[in-house]
Amino acid sequence: MTAHAIVQPAATFALFLMCLAFFLTAYRVITGPTLPDRIVALDMLVAIAIGFLAVVAIKTGFNLYVDIAIALGLVGFLATVAFARFVLTQGMPEDEKDPMAASPRAGSRRAGERSVAQRTARRKTRGRAR
């Protein structure tokens, strides 16, 4: 019974910390300036959900939650890979200029160099127009 009394407060404390982590990561998902920011934050949310499942498995004693955590990890990995492929094929949309790199001084210098995806996208549209 004492083992229970030791583990239970630790599990409650871990749940509290992960609640805070969940809300911080959800904040990043909502206000993330670019799409990859949101993808990274969603990946982090999956990791936090796996932690939640493990703590709930300890608190309730249902060991089945470990299997659910494994399945969630698999799904989260596949989702992240699919999102990465999506970013790779779609390229950077025009309205997602990085606000961190955007300074008035750097504007003229940045106008000269263009990213690969934008160049290929431009090439594709030009080819279609012909």
Is residue 29 packed enough to be buried (19+ CB in 10 Å), middle (13-18) or exposed (0-12)?
middle
Between 76 and 105, how does the x/- string for binding to another protein read (CB under 8 A)?
-x--xx-xxx-xx-xxx---x-x-xx-x--
Residue 60 is a binding residue for another protein (CB under 8 A): no
Residue 62 tokens, joined: 């249902």
- CB contact at 8 A, 25 and 41: yes
Does 116 sit near another protein (CB under 8 A)?
yes
Q: How far is the CB of 15 from another protein (least distance, A)?
A: 8
Closest separation in Å from C-beta 65 to another protein: 7
Q: What is the largest CA-CA distance in the chain?
A: 78
Q: Residue 74 interacts with another protein (CB under 8 A)?
A: yes
Residue 127 CB, shortest distance to another protein, in Å, is: 20
Report yes or no: 15 and 55 within 8 Å, Cβ to Cβ.
yes
DSSP codes joined into one string, 47-79: HHHHHHHHHHHHHH--THHHHHHHHHHHHHHHH
Is residue 99 within 8 A of residue 80, CB to CB? The reply is: no
Binding-site ranges for another protein (CB under 8 A): 2-4, 6-7, 9-11, 13-18, 20-22, 24-25, 27-28, 34, 36-37, 39-41, 43-44, 47-48, 50-51, 54-55, 57-58, 63, 65-67, 69-70, 73-74, 77, 80-81, 83-85, 87-88, 90-92, 96, 98, 100-101, 103, 106, 113-118
